[in-house]
């Protein structure tokens, strides 16, 4: 079970539950084709963003496997919403989870995705005591692959034409890291 104390602070970011006030800022990047390109959903209109936001607002803790913890990513210095992130709890028995993140393209290339994912891995391994955490992505999403590699996650699978997404066959990459590997990285100078 994981009931975080909010906000979760990183050196430059705050991870916090979503609120209804986040609608316009969330729509500002969920509506962009370049954001949705490698995701299962297409660019969202305001109504679709509002529906997604309603789900996100409810996902603030993990009380049983199969749930997702979804958080807003905010710049600590300005309060600007720049992304959203998720920690899935897939299995209690096997202590497995998964991370994901989406950032506004205006904030790409500044290390915010690595900072966000680091906080998610800390939550998964230290808060939920997971054994293994994965990251899954479209095989064409090289920027996200680099983020996972910077975190020390290893590519464990390249599934060729694994799924039909938006009418086309896509490859899927799966990255993973174990708790002991994460702790060794975090505690090595």
Enumerate domains of the chain plus CATH numbers: 8-186 (3.40.630.30)
Structure confidence at residue 5 (pLDDT): 96
pLDDT digits (tens, 9 = 90+) for 35-88: 999 999 999 999 999 999 999 999 999 999 999 999 999 999 999 999 999 999
* pLDDT confidence band for 13 (50 / 70 / 90): very high
Element (H, E) at 163: strand 154-165
Confidence check: pLDDT of 189 > 70: no
> What is the DSSP annotation of 93-104?
TTTEEEEEEEE-
Residue, of 127 and 188, whose pLDDT is higher: 127
Structure confidence at residue 187 (pLDDT): 79
Name the token pair of 164.
């039909």
CB atoms within 10 A of CB 121: 24
Q: Average pLDDT, stretch 130-135?
A: 98
Confidence check: pLDDT of 93 > 90: yes
Strand, coil or helix: 69: strand
**Of 3, 4, 16, the residue nearest 81 (C-alpha):** 16
**Of 163, 118, 121, 113, the residue nearest 139 (C-alpha):** 163
Element (H, E) at 54: helix 46-58
pTM recorded for the entire structure = 0.96
Indicate the pairing of strand 168-178 with strand 96-103: unpaired
| Helical H segments across 76-162, by residue range | 112-122, 142-150
**Of 83, 105, 88, 99, the residue nearest 37 (C-alpha):** 105
Q: Average pLDDT, stretch 131-150?
A: 97
pLDDT digits (tens, 9 = 90+) for 111-123: 999 999 999 999 9
Confidence check: pLDDT of 104 > 90: yes
Q: What is the mean pLDDT of the chain?
A: 97
Q: Average pLDDT, stretch 1-21?
A: 97
Structure confidence at residue 188 (pLDDT): 74
């Amino acid at each position: 079970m994981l009931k975080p104390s909010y906000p979760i602070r990183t050196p430059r970011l705050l991870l916090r539950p979503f609120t209804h006030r986040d609608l316009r800022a969330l729509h500002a990047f969920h509506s962009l084709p370049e954001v949705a390109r490698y995701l299962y959903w297409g660019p969202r209109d305001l109504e679709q963003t509002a529906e997604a936001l309603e789900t996100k607002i409810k996902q603030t803790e993990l009380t049983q496997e199969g749930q997702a913890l979804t958080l807003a990513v905010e710049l600590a210095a300005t309060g600007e919403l720049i992304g959203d992130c998720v920690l899935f709890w897939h299995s209690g028995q096997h202590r497995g989870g998964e991370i994901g993140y989406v950032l506004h393209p205006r904030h790409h290339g500044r290390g915010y995705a690595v900072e966000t994912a680091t906080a998610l891995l800390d939550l998964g391994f230290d808060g939920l005591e997971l054994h293994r955490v994965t990251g899954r992505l479209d095989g064409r999403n090289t920027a996200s692959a680099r983020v996972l590699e910077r975190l020390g996650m290893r590519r464990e699978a390249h599934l060729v034409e694994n799924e039909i997404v938006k009418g086309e066959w896509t490859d899927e990459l799966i990255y993973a890291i174990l708790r002991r590997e994460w702790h060794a990285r975090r505690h090595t100078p």
